[in-house]
Amino acid sequence: MVDKPQRKWAILLFSLPFTGVGFGFLLFSIIPSLYDAVQMSDWHETQATVISSELKSYSGDSTTYEAVGSYSYTVAGQQYTGTRLGISGGADNVGDWHQRMSGKLYSARNAQRPVSVYYAPGNPAAAIVDRSLRWNLLGFKMIFVLVFGGAGIGIFYLSIRQHNRIIETPEADIKPWLGHKDWSSPTVLSDAKNTLYLGWVMTVFWNLISVPLLFVIPEELGKGNSAILLAGLFPAVGLGLLVWATRATRRWLAVGATPLTLDPYPGSIGGQVAGSIETNLSYSSSQNFPVNLSCLYSYMSGSGKDRKRRESVKWSAEGFARAEPYRSGSRLLFCFDVPEGLHPSEHKDDSYYLWRLNLKSDGAPVDINRNFELPVFATAEVSRLVHVDSASHPLAQDKRDARIDAVMDMQQTTDGLELTFPVGRNAGSNAVIAVIGLVFFAAGMLAGYLGAPIFFPIVFGLIGGGIMLGGLYSLLNGLRVRIGSGGLHTRRSLLGVIISKSSVAGSEIQKLRIHKTGSVTSGTDHKVFFAIRAHLKNGKKITVAESLVGRGAAEQVAEALAFYSGFELDKRVVTIKQIRAERLANKAHKK
């Protein structure tokens, strides 16, 4: 792993080309043009005779033009020859200045008509035909200044800012949260302000790039180029971004900075993560505030241009904050119990663990969606001031009940429970998975049809086909389970046709355990799926419940199963990686 000073210098070197392009346009083109325009404003006018005129064209990715020519003029009885036509030299295709200038000189020469030129009073040999600024060309060059220069400065600034988040202090060896500037006090701010700034930067950049098209479109339409109307989409998107950024700013001001104060500080693994969040919203009993606490693993995947940051949920809990009047607004109280054995917060890196609290609103006059990255460490502390259980809030219970009812039906029997998981449960998520698989499969087949190497249809076909079939199977299969003193009996069907059965005596069941089976991510929102499996004494596992969304819903179903069946429940959530590790450990033990 690259250490911090080396990384800072690596990012500096990476940002230099971007910054160089931007500042190169600014220092060697835009500023000199502005300086010349100011200096030439008091130059003297005289008449000149055109000697030559030519419009040169250069072909490459696009065709550029350059007007060249020469002219002679007389000042105080002394004859001079000039070749400078405009302030900005060189070829370009921004507007039709070169065509117009070449045409002007050509016509004057053929008609033997003089043209006006301007010369420097103290240096008559310096002259120019057009001393006005080409604002459209300057605007075009400013795009490079802002986009490339802004990107270079932004990359380096963010690197320095992140580097400066780390505090070198001996206390950090014992209390690692004190080694990070954002965690050096109990008060933590959300990422909303930085997100708002980034939104405005994107809006400004997009509009700086697209607004010059508004000057080009009428000119091209005059030439009969109706296809240029498609370019009008870019300014339209820029207007949409401007409206979005303005509304986001109003929302941010209405809600406020929402400082979060932790109690205990830091948040505690093996204890509680709790605290309060201040808002500018006036208190109302009709407003509800869902909160979600997650332990996440953030990592980079892919390579080259496909390199992306991804997040994997290691633990999460959902609930609702309790609102109360506070000062001129309201205060939101939250508290979650956190089990032992989870990873503590880490400094940002290519891969690291983080704890995030997400706050939303329901029924509030302004939509809220704030994310807080919290310092959470294994201190086993509990809150002294916050005495609410967010996960036990009545609305949180209603949410869990609704999720359970959406995927299963539970009935009590004389000796335990009967569970039915119908066809079509979690239809939205499973349909999306099937469509994604179909797209991959179709892309592979199309590539093969168009003559791509056989590798593409095989790989894309297998991966896409597997994903598609998995999504369809999850969508179209049903499961019925009976569990109790009479043992465990399951029956799985596909579109009503029974495809598997299992039946074991109660004495063969060792324990019930919750398994994490997958997750779906959208931005910073994560939907985690769980199943409950019976672990048998012979090492086999039988699925008792599945398609459960959220850890809370899975625990609720698992506790009901354990209570009514009498079997032991191990609440530890097992992931696929843990199962593989256990299998390897068992194999090694047998050897």
Mean pLDDT of 34-49: 93
> Are 300 and 356 in the same domain?
yes
Secondary structure string (H, E, C) spanning 439-474: HHHHHHHHHHHCCCCCHHHHHHHHHHHHHHHHHHHH
Which of 359, 392, 425 is the last residue before a domain boundary? 392
Residue 18 lies in a domain: no
- Average pLDDT in the chain: 86
pLDDT tier, 12 (very low <50, low <70, confident <90, very high otherwise) = low
pLDDT of residue 494: 93
pLDDT tier, 2 (very low <50, low <70, confident <90, very high otherwise) = very low
- The whole model's pTM is what? 0.70
> Are 583 and 448 in the same domain?
yes
> Are 341 and 296 in the same domain?
yes
Mean pLDDT of 139-150: 75
pLDDT tier, 15 (very low <50, low <70, confident <90, very high otherwise) = low
pLDDT tier, 166 (very low <50, low <70, confident <90, very high otherwise) = low
Which CATH number does the domain housing residue 322 bear? 2.60.40.640
Residue 34 lies in a domain: no
Tally of CB atoms within 10 A around 324: 11
Closest CA to 531 of 498, 492, 503: 492
> Are 517 and 371 in the same domain?
no
Interior/surface letters 518-543, b for 16+ CB within 10 angstroms, e for the rest: eeeeeeeebebbbbbbbbbeeeeebb
Report the range of poorest mean pLDDT among 62-76, 253-267, 424-438: 424-438
Report the range of poorest mean pLDDT among 266-275, 317-326, 455-464: 455-464
Q: Cβ neighbours of residue 76 under 8 Å, at least 6 residues apart? A: 124
Q: Pull the structure tokens for residue 52.
A: 């030559």
> Are 508 and 454 in the same domain?
yes
Report the range of poorest mean pLDDT among 98-102, 305-309, 433-437: 305-309
Residue 317 lies in a domain: yes
Residue 289 lies in a domain: yes
> Are 434 and 546 in the same domain?
yes
Mean pLDDT of 336-347: 93
Mean pLDDT of 310-323: 92
pLDDT of residue 227: 64
Q: Is the pLDDT of residue 223 over 80?
A: no
Residue 301 lies in a domain: yes
Q: Cβ neighbours of residue 198 under 8 Å, at least 6 residues apart? A: none
Q: Pull the structure tokens for residue 80.
A: 């001079």
pLDDT of residue 186: 95
Let me know how long the chain is.
591
Encode pLDDT of 415-427 as tens digits: 899 999 999 988 8
Encode pLDDT of 84-143 as tens digits: 999 988 999 888 899 999 999 999 999 999 999 999 999 999 999 999 988 878 877 877
Q: Is the pLDDT of residue 162 over 60?
A: no
Residue 126 lies in a domain: yes
Secondary structure string (H, E, C) spanning 87-108: CCCCCECCCCHHHHHHHHHHHH
pLDDT of residue 107: 95
Residue 558: domain span = 410-590
Distance CA 565, CA 100 (A): 90
Mean pLDDT of 34-55: 94
DSSP designation for 122: T
> Are 329 and 416 in the same domain?
no
pLDDT tier, 1 (very low <50, low <70, confident <90, very high otherwise) = very low
Mean pLDDT of 147-153: 70
pLDDT of residue 296: 94
pLDDT tier, 147 (very low <50, low <70, confident <90, very high otherwise) = confident
Encode pLDDT of 461-501 as tens digits: 889 899 999 989 989 999 999 999 999 999 999 988 999 99
Overall domain count for the chain: 3
> Are 466 and 565 in the same domain?
yes
Q: Is the pLDDT of residue 385 over 60?
A: yes
Which helix or strand (DSSP H or E) is residue 224 part of?
none
Comparison of pLDDT for 418 and 9, the residue scoring more: 418
Which of 85, 105, 130 is the last residue before a domain boundary? 130
E-assigned strands of 27-155?
44-58, 64-75, 78-82, 115-120, 123-128
